Amino acid sequence: MAKERWKTTVTQSLIKNLGNGGVDSIHIVNTPGYTDIRPFLWEGWDPGVFYTYYLSPETLQLSRNARRNLKKAGENNISIRASEDIAEFCSLFAETFRRRGTSPAVSIEFLKGVFDTFSRSGQCRLMVAENASGEMIGGDLYLTFLQKACRWAAVTSPELRACGGSFLLVRDSLRELEEQGCGQVNMMTANLPFLSEFTMNFGARLVPYYGATTRSPRFKRIATLKSLFSPG
């Protein structure tokens, strides 16, 4: 009870300070471990629910589709290894979003900064997939902490998907993380249908997490006017 009361008091103080900032729109998303967003709701914020997948390396359960793709990756001589080549990873990162016709989720400078910062403290693992020629065709960037890991960024290519390398990359990365003492991995792939479909091949556990949004009266009026005058 005391712990819950303390968390509520801290959250209420945060909400009060955020409200004094003169910001028109605030969107907060909590980590999966922090599920209590009631203080936000009590203040009139709008709730939001999101999902992620957790994988445990030691209890990995491969689907028939995953096993078939792992065999294909072996036949195509795809190899997985740890790497420090963040420049090539960033190049593939930008290309991945270009193919989708969208802007990168974060800037290349920010991505490099995250890699450099966490690498210095030994909390970063870059796992890459290479074809038979030794060319990087995909990669996953994991951040690690307290025997847990988060698949923070991923890059892919048509070649990686066609040869089954995506499945090999995840499986071998999980094995590598297990050797590093990570017993739980947050895959961060449950909010988009095609990523969710892929991750289900590994027996992942679906976990919800929560957020809240507030908007100023001025922001709401502008949004209403915009919707009224938008085409269609």
Render 110-129 in DSSP notation, one character per residue. Answer: HHHHHHHHHHHTT-EEEEEE
Report yes or no on 35 lying in a domain: no
Q: Which residues contact 125 (CB under 8 A, 6 or more apart)?
A: 82, 141, 142, 144, 149, 173, 176, 177, 180
Compute and round to an integer the Cα radius of gyration of the chain: 21
How many Cα neighbours within 13 Å face the side chain of 118?
20
Report yes or no on 116 lying in a domain: yes
Report yes or no on 73 lying in a domain: yes
* CATH code, domain with 175: 3.40.630.30
Report yes or no on 167 lying in a domain: yes
Report yes or no on 161 lying in a domain: yes
Name the domain count of the chain: 1
Report yes or no on 197 lying in a domain: no
Q: Using one digit for the tens of pLDDT, what is the confidence trace for 192-209?
A: 899 999 999 999 999 999
Q: What is the model's pTM?
A: 0.85
Q: Where in the sequence is the domain holding 169, given as residue range(s)?
A: 62-183
Q: Using one digit for the tens of pLDDT, what is the confidence trace for 60-88?
A: 999 999 999 999 999 999 999 999 999 99
Report yes or no on 3 lying in a domain: no
Report yes or no on 147 lying in a domain: yes
Residues of the chain with pLDDT under 70: 20-21, 223, 229-232
